[in-house]
Amino acid sequence: MSTAAETKPKRTIIPFGPQHPVLPEPIHLDLVLEDEKVVEVIPSIGFIHRGLEKLVEIKDFQEMTYVAERICGICSCIHGHSYCEAIENIMNIIVPERAKYLRVFWDELSRIHSHILWAGLFADSFGFESLFMHSWRIRERIIDIVEETTGGRVIFGYCKIGGTRRDIANDRLKSVVTELKAIEKECHSITEVFAKDYSVKKRTKGIGMLSKDDAVKLGAVGPMMRASGIASDARKLGYAAYGNLKWEPITESGCDCHARLMVRCREIYQAFDLAYQAADKMPDGPIETKVTGNPTGEFAARLEQPRGEVIYYVKGNGTKNLARFRVRTPTFANIPPLLKALEGCELPDVPVIVLTIDPCISCAER
Amino acid sequence: MSLMKIAGLVSSWALRKPATRLYPFVKRETFPHTRGHIEIDIAKCTFCTLCEKKCPTDAIAVDRAAKTWSIDRLRCISCNACVEACPRKCLSMANSYSPAMLEHGIQSFVQNAPAEK
């Protein structure tokens, strides 16, 4: 007669990260395996905590815009935008209409380049090297447009409290839209492969399942939530000019890695469309309002980054330095759903599933 | 994917130019708005210290008595705040990035400095 200890498979713990070929940034996961199957995941974070939120004690509220932009390299422009939205709300600053549309335009360009970058990294995670290179080749053209219009390749630096720091001339805006339309056509060459290719489907379909109930219970955000069939998008709050544009959040019902991939692929085209709409409806006028005084009061701004919803909490006490500054980034919110999605998967699928939350650890740890 | 489609893709890529450049022989061109590095026309400077106050990383130091304007290139984040604040427009943003350095140093500019022989 065999004992219980003999029938139960032996458990092995395999460390994943903080240095791993698929991870651009450090996160550590202890994978508890039974044979090749992951049964439990224990995360540990904190390898690149920089204490950026404490900088409010020495930097004034205007200078903090530059700090907020540098929380993350890829969604930097929406970080700056979120901070400005929060401060504008407590200071009751009315942002000019043109600045609102410019913000939407650049935010959507940032979403396109972030999603294409992610698509490349995702292809790389399952060994599709040529798809990775083609994705990044296309992304480079978006980056060129961004650099030409804002001055920065990665850190856009377009946002300031009360408006934007740069304007795009109407003629140039038209030619940028024409260029974007050409890039959009080229995007089909990669998204078609992601949607239809046999090997991509084989590595992503039915893997890393996160049910609708689990997504809600664990507080998933962004494409992770939308791939589980829930139309949750902070842009629907109507901040900046999103309230005046026609669009609906993109959802998929697959709940697996392929659904998350398809949500992001479809969001690339939605972002192109929103950028065209913003350029089309952009009114003439000033791009900034003068800011006087210091912030008093508190506000929590919610904005949609490429990775999901970000929450910026700011509290002013009437001095030039804020009393409190707190950022809840989408990657941080997506770690508990990730752990759930990893349970029950096979060891070779772990990198693919980790990549589907689009992990940005420097965001999560700030 | 059919063989015809693959042949079409291969031939179209064989006829295109490569997506990468032969660096350092071919360099990437910057744009007129690219934030590269800060340049100063020291003859026009009034040493008002506005740029020093606006700099978020404290990279700029202005000495009114010695008529010196100095910048720590490794601290500068090229945010353009000093250029926007300068009342005499003697600061400007150049398009090329700061070159690599062998050691950490502070670059100083002196007004009416004797010309070097």
User: What pLDDT band is residue B115 in, cutting at 50, 70 and 90?
Assistant: low
Q: Is A80 touching B (CB cutoff 8 A)?
A: no
pLDDT at A53 over 90: no
User: What pLDDT band is residue A181 in, cutting at 50, 70 and 90?
Assistant: very high
Q: Compute the distance between CA of residue A227 and CA of residue A217 in angstroms, rounded to an integer.
A: 15
Q: Is A160 touching B (CB cutoff 8 A)?
A: no
Q: What DSSP line would sit under A272-284, residue for residue?
A: HHHHHHHHHHPPP
Residue B35 domain-assigned? Answer: yes
Query: CB A166 to CB B33 under 8 A?
Result: yes
Residue B21 domain-assigned? Answer: no
This model of the complex carries an ipTM of 0.82
pLDDT at A225 over 60: yes
Residue B58 domain-assigned? Answer: yes
Query: CB B34 to CB A137 under 8 A?
Result: no
Mean pLDDT over A253-258 rounds to: 89
Closest alpha carbon within chain A to B93: A151
A81-124 pLDDT tens trace: 999 999 999 988 889 999 999 999 999 999 999 999 999 999 98
The predicted structure's pLDDT at residue A6: 62
Mean pLDDT over A223-250 rounds to: 89
Lowest mean pLDDT among A4-8, A49-53, A104-108, B84-88: A4-8
pLDDT at B15 over 60: yes
pLDDT at A271 over 90: yes
Closest alpha carbon within chain B to A157: B79
Residue A122: how many other CB atoms lie within 10 Å: 27
Q: What DSSP line would sit under B6-44, residue for residue?
A: HHHHHHHHHHSPPSS--TTTSPPPP-TT---EEEE-GGG
Chain-wide mean pLDDT for chain A? 89
Helical (H) or strand (E) element with A285 = none
Q: Which residues contact A87 (CB under 8 A, 6 or more apart)?
A: A61, A93, A161, A295, A314, A316
pLDDT at A169 over 90: no
Contacts of A68 in chain B (CB under 8 A): none
Choose among B19, B31, B56: nearest Cβ to A63. B56
Residue B18 domain-assigned? Answer: no
Residue B76 domain-assigned? Answer: yes
Number of domains in chain B: 1
Query: CB A66 to CB B31 under 8 A?
Result: no
Contacts of A152 in chain B (CB under 8 A): 34-35, 78
A55-70 pLDDT tens trace: 888 888 888 999 899 8
CATH of the domain at B92: 3.30.70.3270
Q: Which two structure tokens, joined as six digits, stand for B2?
A: 């059919």
Query: CB A147 to CB B31 under 8 A?
Result: yes
Q: Which two structure tokens, joined as six digits, stand for A125?
A: 């995670």
Chain-wide mean pLDDT for chain B? 86
Question: Could you tell me whether strands A163-164 and B37-40 are parallel, antiparallel, or unpaired per DSSP bridges?
Answer: unpaired
By percentage, how much of chain B surpasses pLDDT 90? 8
Q: Is A159 touching B (CB cutoff 8 A)?
A: no
Number of H helices, E strands in chain A: 13, 8
A279-309 pLDDT tens trace: 999 898 888 888 888 889 899 999 999 999 9
Which domains does chain A possess?
A: 51-365 (1.10.645.10)
A317-344 pLDDT tens trace: 888 888 889 999 999 999 999 999 998 8
Q: Is A165 touching B (CB cutoff 8 A)?
A: yes
Q: What is the DSSP letter of A266?
A: H
pLDDT at A1 over 70: no
Residue B64 domain-assigned? Answer: yes
The predicted structure's pLDDT at residue B117: 47
Chain B 2-61, residues with CB within 8 Å of chain A CB atoms: 19, 30-31, 33-35, 56
Q: Compute the distance between CA of residue B47 and CA of residue B52 in angstroms, rounded to an integer.
A: 10
Residue B78 domain-assigned? Answer: yes
Choose among B35, B77, B81: nearest Cβ to A151. B35
Please say whether the dihedral angle defined by the alpha carbons of residues A41, A46, A48 and A51, taken in this order, is positive or negative: positive
Query: CB A66 to CB B34 under 8 A?
Result: no
Contacts of B30 in chain A (CB under 8 A): 147
pTM, 2 dp: 0.89
Q: Is B84 touching A (CB cutoff 8 A)?
A: yes
Query: CB B33 to CB A149 under 8 A?
Result: yes
Q: Which residues contact B11 (CB under 8 A, 6 or more apart)?
A: none
Residue B2 domain-assigned? Answer: no
Closest alpha carbon within chain A to B56: A63
The boundaries of the domain holding residue B102 are 30-110
Å from A72 to nearest chain B CA?
Answer: 15
Choose among B19, B35, B84: nearest Cβ to A152. B35
